[in-house]
Amino acid sequence: MINRIVDSPEAAVADIFDGATVLIGGFGGVGVPNELIDALIAQGARDLTVVNNNAGNAELGVAALLKAGQVRKIVCSFPRQADSYVFDGLYRSGKLELELVPQGTLAERIRAAGAGIGAFFCPTGYGTPLAEGKETRIIDGRGQVLEHALHADFALVRAKLADRWGNLTYSKTARNFGPVMAAAARCTIAQVDRIVELGELDPETIVTPGIHVKRVVRVAPAADAQAS
Amino acid sequence: MSNPRWSRDQIAARIANDIPDGSYVNLGIGAPTLVGNHLPEGREIVLHSENGILGMGPAPGPGEGHPDLINAGKQPVTQLVGAAFFHHADSFAMMRGGHLDICVLGAFQVAASGDLANWSTGEPGAVPAVGGAMDLASGARRVFVMMDHRTKSGEPKIVERCTYPLTGVGCVSRIYTDLAVIDVTPEGLVARDWVEGLSFDELREATGAPLADGRA
């Protein structure tokens, strides 16, 4: 019998190890698995490489993980926010390594990892500082940059509904990086608003099939859980 | 001498008026967002946001927003009838794959060749951030730039070669500023229209690259 359901965020993240690469879903404050991140902070794994579109807001979510000193390197497209002071301070003091990646290239590198693609040529960023040091080629008359798949040990994603097989549906723009991250990590942990009986999700509407999800944990959404 | 110029809303309205019925359009964060307020009645124009929506609507009324529904600038938005949601890799495949008809971006500098610089001033110590700018610049079929013609200190933002780090090479199709509408063509920059009260010579002086008179 397949049962991906885990009782608590703490149990779900217990085996995240020092030095792990962790994909974390979310765009701004939407679709961020905040309770899984909180559990990772309590768990204390260090020297992490974190992949997220941003670098956290105020002292919530990814910013709280950065503030706890658990992250060695962040891979993201847009760390600078009005309230990204935790990131800004760590970056300026040299305590945090940054790999800046164009947002679509970030998404596609993650997708490639899940799809078994080693690397791909991509026109984005050709001729810019973000292509420096990378192999380039002219394909179909356009300059293209070789970009490598971005594999990870763990993915923490937030979805709306799950069943015990780990099938997931999402809510509006909270879907963002969830589906590609879920497929790219060796162990994907999904935080969901609600768990339904197997068979309740319409197979036509499942966005992430359970094959990509190792653990599901229910966290009742707080009224303001996704504010900011 | 007076300093005639178009307001941000006037520029936005000009851009909106140039977007054909049936277009799929991405409006960049900041000033380009204003274009959405001026889309002409009677045209079906579908707005795309990089974080996974086609058919994005305006900001919600008080108490009407949904916590999971935001735009690229992380502001609350609405979904229109016919909207679709998709994940990030699909969203950027729409851009990179040339499926968007038009994107409107802000800029620090645009070169006569259509090179765009809009993500970094390259200052040491600045926190860098690129987001979806490079993906849009290289992927949309037409890239419109919306910006002031000069910097606050009066330097031209349209230049022979960008001095700021590039976002994309040869990607800009048209520039809308507070002074003029300028096309980037294989033969160079061509001014199509400019603000009343400004002479072509004055426009040329405010522009840091050779400019042809498209009205002549």
DSSP A11: H
Q: Which of A103, A145, A206, A226 to mutate to test the interface with B (most CBs of B within 10 A)?
A: A103
CA distance linking residue A52 with residue A36, whole number of Å:
14
Distance from CA of A129 to the nearest CA of B (A): 7
Confidence of residue A186 (pLDDT cuts 50, 70, 90): very high
pTM for the model: 0.96
B50 included as an active-site residue:
yes
Q: 């965020």: which residue's tokens?
A: A9
- Residue among A127, A173, A226 whose CB faces B169 most closely: A127
Angle (CA) B139 A149 A30, round 5°: 70
What are the beta bridge partners of residue B181? B176, B193
Q: Which CATH superfamily is domain A9-218 in?
A: Glutaconate Coenzyme A-transferase (3.40.1080.10)
- Give the count of alpha carbons within 13 A of B167, CB side only: 31
Phi, psi torsion values for A25, nearest 5 degrees: -70, 165
**Domains present along chain B, CATH in parentheses:** 8-213 (3.40.1080.10)
What's the pLDDT score for residue A223? 57
Backbone torsion region of residue A226, taken as left when φ is above 0, otherwise alpha when ψ lies between -120 and 50, otherwise beta: alpha
CA distance linking residue B203 with residue A72, whole number of Å:
50
For residues B120-124, give the mean pLDDT: 88
What's the pLDDT score for residue A225? 47
Nearest to residue B142, comparing CAs of B111, B104, B185?
Answer: B104
Catalytic residue among B44, B50, B187, B202: B50
For residues A45-60, give the mean pLDDT: 96
Nearest to residue A152, comparing CAs of A133, A122, A123, A180?
Answer: A180
Burial A37-68 (b: 16+ CB within 10 A, else e): bbbbbeeebeebbbbbbbbbbbebbbbbbbbb
Burial class (CB in 10 A: 0-12, 13-18, 19+), A151: middle
B52·A207 Cβ contact <8 A:
no
- CB contacts, 8 Å: A178 with chain B: 87
Nearest to residue B179, comparing CAs of B10, B5, B11, B17?
Answer: B5
What's the pLDDT score for residue B125? 79
A111·B49 Cβ contact <8 A:
no
* Ordered DSSP codes for chain B: -------HHHHHHHHHHTS-TT-EEEEPSSGGGGGGGGPPTT---EEEETTTEEEEE-PPPTT---TT-B-TTS-B-EEEEEEEE--HHHHHHHHHTT--SEEEE--SEEETT--EE-S----TTPPP--TTHHHHHHHSSEEEEE--SB-TTS-BSEESS--SPPSBSS---EEE-SSEEEEEETTEEEEEEE-TT--HHHHHHT-BS-EEETT-
- What are the tens digits of pLDDT across the range B155-197? 999 999 999 999 999 999 999 999 999 999 999 999 999 999 9
CA distance linking residue A217 with residue A189, whole number of Å:
8
> In chain A, whose CA is at the least distance from the CA of B118?
A128
Q: How large is the C-alpha radius of gyration of chain A?
A: 18
CA distance linking residue A22 with residue A46, whole number of Å:
11
Confidence of residue B68 (pLDDT cuts 50, 70, 90): very high
- CB contacts, 8 Å: A102 with chain B: 130-135
Task: With a cut of 60, say whether residue A228 has pLDDT above it.
Answer: no
What's the pLDDT score for residue A226? 46
Please identify among residues 90-119 of chain A the ones whose CB lies closer than 8 Å to any CB of chain B. Answer: 91-92, 98, 100-105, 107-108, 110-111
Mean pLDDT (chain B) is 96
**Token pair listed for A102:** 């164009």
Question: Under a CB-based contact definition with an 8 Å cutoff, are residues B78 and B54 in contact?
Answer: no
CA distance linking residue B211 with residue B216, whole number of Å:
12
- CB contacts, 8 Å: A84 with chain B: 127
A84/B contact by beta carbon, under 8 A? yes
B12/A contact by beta carbon, under 8 A? no
CA distance linking residue A74 with residue A53, whole number of Å:
10
- What are the tens digits of pLDDT across the range A88-133? 999 999 999 999 999 999 999 999 999 999 999 999 999 999 999 9
Nearest to residue B166, comparing CAs of A121, A130, A77?
Answer: A130
Distance from CA of A8 to the nearest CA of B (A): 23
For residues B21-32, give the mean pLDDT: 96
Angle (CA) A46 A77 A212, round 5°: 65
